[in-house]
């Protein structure tokens, strides 16, 4: 019997309660059996300067999910050619786990920019995409209104009414650098790990 796995891609720099709430919400309000946090070694659309080492970000995700057997840390992209592209990862995972039905979890902003992704037509035709709402800036809203992608009505796109998350990893990194207490923005084990390792200071 095949299982359904939601793939939640990200740098997770660091993984925070927003990620955890969204992953758990997807489990509760879709047909997913598990959610895998796919830790990206380097996103071609992101600057690499402020990214914690791959093994540290993976360890933070493993720490965050260790008490929930339906959540997994996935380092599949660490061994794939860089920069990592979602389509390559999906094809690789399908070959490795032929009895698993993989679905993509992404924010509204990523869906609106999907046309910029490598082989996006293949992604949207072959995989179901579960989309959660994002708090968008005025600039993002304007860009979205100008976008004619129309992916939201595609047969493989399912909009999930998840809680709006305004927590961002960049905000957390800045707060730590400025000696602010961020313990409630991270799960307790992750916060302890980040604090003990002096990450982002």
The string of DSSP letters for 124-178 reads: HHHSEEEEE-----HHHHHHHHH----GGGSTTEEE--PPP----HHHHHHHHHT
**Would you say the pTM of this structure is higher than 0.95?**
no
Residue 147: pLDDT over 70? no
- Residue 3 sits at φ, ψ, to 5 deg, of -115, 155
pLDDT-based confidence at residue 131 (cuts at 50, 70, 90): very high
Query: Is 194 or 152 the better-scoring residue by pLDDT?
Result: 194
Q: Provide the edge-to-edge strand list for the sheet that holds 128-132.
A: 71-74, 34-39, 3-10, 100-107, 128-132, 157-159
- pLDDT, tens only, 173-196: 999 999 999 999 999 999 999 999
pLDDT-based confidence at residue 148 (cuts at 50, 70, 90): very low
Among 14-23, 42-51, 102-111, 128-137, which is the least confidently predicted range?
A: 42-51
Mean pLDDT over each residue of the chain, to the nearest integer: 90
Query: Is 20 or 81 the better-scoring residue by pLDDT?
Result: 20
Q: Which pLDDT score, from 0 to 100, does residue 176 have? A: 95
Q: Which pLDDT score, from 0 to 100, does residue 141 have? A: 56
* Residue recorded with tokens 């927003």: 18
Q: Which pLDDT score, from 0 to 100, does residue 149 have? A: 57
Domains in the chain: ranges and CATH: 3-167 (3.40.50.620)
Contact between 136 and 108 under an 8 Å Cβ cutoff? The reply is yes
What whole-number distance in Å separates Cα of residue 80 and Cα of residue 26? 27
Q: Which pLDDT score, from 0 to 100, does residue 2 have? A: 86
Q: What percent of the chain has pLDDT over 70?
A: 88
- pLDDT, tens only, 42-52: 655 666 667 89
């Amino acid at each position: 019997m095949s299982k359904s796995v939601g793939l939640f891609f990200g740098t997770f720099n660091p993984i925070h309660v927003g990620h955890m709430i969204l992953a758990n919400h997807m489990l509760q309000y879709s047909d997913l059996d598990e959610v895998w946090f796919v830790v990206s070694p380097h996103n071609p659309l992101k600057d690499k300067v402020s990214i914690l080492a791959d093994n540290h970000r993976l360890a933070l995700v493993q720490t965050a999910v260790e008490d929930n057997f339906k959540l997994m840390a996935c380092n599949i992209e660490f061994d794939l050619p860089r920069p990592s592209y979602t389509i390559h990862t999906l094809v690789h995972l399908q070959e490795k786990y032929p009895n698993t039905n993989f679905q993509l979890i992404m924010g509204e902003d990523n869906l609106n920019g999907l046309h910029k992704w490598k082989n996006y037509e293949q992604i949207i035709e072959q995989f179901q995409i579960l989309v959660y709402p994002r708090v968008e800036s005025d600039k993002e809203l304007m860009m979205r209104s100008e976008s004619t992608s129309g992916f939201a009505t595609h047969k493989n796109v399912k909009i999930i009414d998840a809680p709006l998350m305004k927590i961002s990893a960049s905000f957390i990194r800045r707060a730590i650098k400025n000696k602010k207490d961020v313990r409630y923005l991270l799960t307790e084990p992750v916060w302890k790990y980040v604090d003990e390792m002096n990450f982002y200071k």
